[in-house]
Structure 1
Amino acid sequence: MNIHLKTAFNNIRRSPFQALAAVFVLFVTFFVVSVLVIFIYSSHQILKHYETRPQVIIFIKDNATISEVDALRSKLGGDLRLKKVNYVTKEQALEIYKKATKDNPMLSELVSPSVFPASLEFSVVDLSYAEPVISELKSESIVDEVGYTASLGGEETLTDVVARLRQIAYYIRLTGGIVVGFFLGTSLVLMVVIISMKMSVRKNEMEILDLIGATAGFIRAPVFLESLLYSVTGVLSGWFVSFLIFLYLTPSLTKYFQDIPILPSSTLALLGFFGILLLVELTVGLLLSLTGSVMAVARTRKRK
């Protein structure tokens, strides 16, 4: 292995510009891959946030009894389509109103708990369950009104927001797949061309090794190691630059998006996320280098 590795380094030193070109293209490829993976992950987190946040409010009629409210609450709690069922009393509703109007205390002094209706709030596991659940709840005798959280507007507004987010997430994944495929294909072609050129330059040397009885594996091992060095260097450099950029941007992004966890908030979780990304990219880089080497060897053998 040592002699093969030494031969691979010698081959790189003989044509540094070709090696630099291969590493640069691989660097750009895996930098773009890292950025696109993060964008896809972030768009999924944004979509998941709006699909699963507490979003439906049931306003209870004033003449509803405690037993009726408890029965409806139990019914909602046992529905597998729903989660985070929360009961808000009239007094709690007043406290929420006071917090919302704390800058103008005169407004809160003019109202009493009786003004506010009691309510049940919950979120759906998937937004597709929202419409049938709301239709069912509207038929309940103690339900006065059913609506979405005010911050997102009405039913149509929320549906439109999530539909647009789904469409954006789909196009990000589609565009990302096309771009990644293009860069990986470009890297593979460049690697095949560069390795083929180097094997052509070393043609006499390889023929001499063949004549003195060297095995095919012994002759080709430096070629595989050289392409592997290109891939590992390109993957590590592209991943590392993207990691530094997002490590710097994460606090600002987290502050801007607030409750939406577009990236892991803790340093340990962020390191774990990028660690998994590095392992995946190294695996892809290994497959890319092996494929490029095999194709270059096959291409060179056809020329003989």
Structure 2
Amino acid sequence: MNIHLKTSLNNIRRSPFQALAAVFVLFVTFFVSSILIVFIYSSNQLIKHYETRPQMIVFLKDTASEEDVGSLKTKLESDGRLKKVAHITKEQALEIYKNATKDNPLLSELVNPSVFPSSLEFSLNDLSYAEQVISELKNEEIVDEVRYTASLGGEESLTDVVSKLRQISYYIRLTGGIFIGFLLGTSLVLMIVIISMKMSTRRNEMDILDLIGATPSFVRTPVFLEAIFYTLAGVFSGWFLCFVLVLYLTPSLMEYFQEIPILPQDALGLVILFGLIFAAELFVGLLLSFFGSVLAVARTRKRK
């Protein structure tokens, strides 16, 4: 076994409670970080769903000819801001009404296709295009009215919903970022304190190493390895617990949100998401261990 690795493991065994304290703080830091990252990802997916899913209905005048309707449909299909353009005839509108009122057949018996206007339906690629698209469509001669689907209570309600979701997501990111920064700062300070305490107890050993001509890197390397061990244990345990928790809750979340993909719906997508989270947290953790050990060594050597 490498002498530096052996020395770092011996140092950990000599003071296990200090090692556990460092690992526990890092565990809490990266567990909370993983939860917040998943929460931010899910909130972004929720916002994206409501921004892209809203369907707009363009009710056409009864005087509109098939040629005019076809021309407008072609125009909408070529518009890069829109997707899933469909023409709903009067007969199709009646069928939709019958399906919606199938529990009360008397309602459907009292109507005929002439009661319903034909319409064009489409979805927006981004909700920010809504006002511009509505304004352009209202200038079309064959357009009688433009509406959002009623699932969210109309145009104003939908805009309010997305605006509130964006605001909530912003505050989640801001608060989460501040909280994670606080936890990382706490972890850094604790790591510096613990490593400094350990080096203080080994001062005689370090003095002997200096006397026999040991290089600074020879003295520092076991400290770096010890900090890396704390980081690996803390990052992996925090990330793994979050991963297991999300796996356990995913079926319930999918059932509750149904078609809203707040999390990847396939196992590979979920593994990739958590793989990226782990890689990012490991990178941050290694930076934390590097700076913590460097500052601890510098602090201890300065006090010598």
Out of 262-271 and 160-169, give the one that drifted further.
262-271
Q: Which residue of 1 aligns with 2:153?
A: 153
Compute the displacement of 1:219 (Å): 1.2
Q: Which residue of 1 aligns with 2:196?
A: 196
CA offsets, 1:256-280, max 9 Å, x none?
0111111111122111211111111
Matched residues, percent identical? 73
Distance 1:67 1:148 in 2: 25
Do the aligned residues in 2 keep the contact of 1:54 with 1:84 (CA within 8 Å)?
no
Compute the displacement of 1:203 (Å): 1.1
Q: Secondary structure at the match of 2:47?
A: helix
Q: How does 1:264-275 map to 2 (within 5 A)?
A: 264-275=264-275
One-letter amino acid of the structure 2 residue matched with residue 105 of structure 1: P
One-letter amino acid of the structure 1 residue matched with residue 238 of structure 2: G
CA offsets, 1:112-157, max 9 Å, x none?
2222211111222222211121011111110011011111112111
Q: Secondary structure at the match of 2:86?
A: strand
Q: Secondary structure at the match of 1:86?
A: strand
Q: Which residue of 1 aligns with 2:47?
A: 47
Out of 37-46 and 201-210, give the one that drifted further.
201-210
Q: Which residue of 1 aligns with 2:209?
A: 209
Q: RMSD in angstroms over aligned alpha carbons?
A: 1.2
Q: Which residue of 1 aligns with 2:120?
A: 120
Q: Provide structure 1 residue ranges, at least 5 long, that are not aligned to the other structure.
A: none
Distance 1:170 1:86 in 2: 35
**Is 1:292 matched up with 2:292?**
yes
Compute the displacement of 1:15 (Å): 0.7
Q: Secondary structure at the match of 1:85?
A: strand
Distance 2:182 2:83 in 1: 42
Aligned residues: 304
Out of 289-298 and 106-115, give the one that drifted further.
106-115
Distance 1:268 1:85 in 2: 32
One-letter amino acid of the structure 1 residue matched with residue 190 of structure 2: L
Distance 1:135 1:127 in 2: 14
Compute the displacement of 1:198 (Å): 0.8
Distance 1:69 1:223 in 2: 75
**Is 1:245 matched up with 2:223?**
no
Could you state the TM-score of these two structures normalised by the residue count of structure 2?
0.97
Q: How does 1:54-93 map to 2 (within 5 A)?
A: 54-93=54-93
Compute the displacement of 1:77 (Å): 1.4
One-letter amino acid of the structure 2 residue matched with residue 260 of structure 1: I
Out of 113-122 and 189-198, give the one that drifted further.
113-122
Q: Secondary structure at the match of 2:117?
A: coil
One-letter amino acid of the structure 1 residue matched with residue 73 of structure 2: R
Distance 1:8 1:84 in 2: 61
Distance 2:98 2:244 in 1: 44
Distance 1:218 1:86 in 2: 72
Q: Secondary structure at the match of 2:170?
A: helix
Q: Which residue of 2 aligns with 1:226?
A: 226
One-letter amino acid of the structure 2 residue matched with residue 279 of structure 1: A
Distance 2:161 2:54 in 1: 15
Distance 2:278 2:172 in 1: 21
Compute the displacement of 1:100 (Å): 1.3
Q: Which residue of 2 aligns with 1:98?
A: 98
Q: How does 1:122-201 map to 2 (within 5 A)?
A: 122-201=122-201
Distance 1:271 1:110 in 2: 54
Q: Which residue of 1 aligns with 2:3?
A: 3
Q: How does 1:10-29 map to 2 (within 5 A)?
A: 10-29=10-29
Q: Which residue of 2 aligns with 1:31?
A: 31
Compute the displacement of 1:2 (Å): 1.6
Could you state the TM-score of these two structures normalised by the residue count of structure 1?
0.97
One-letter amino acid of the structure 1 residue matched with residue 252 of structure 2: S
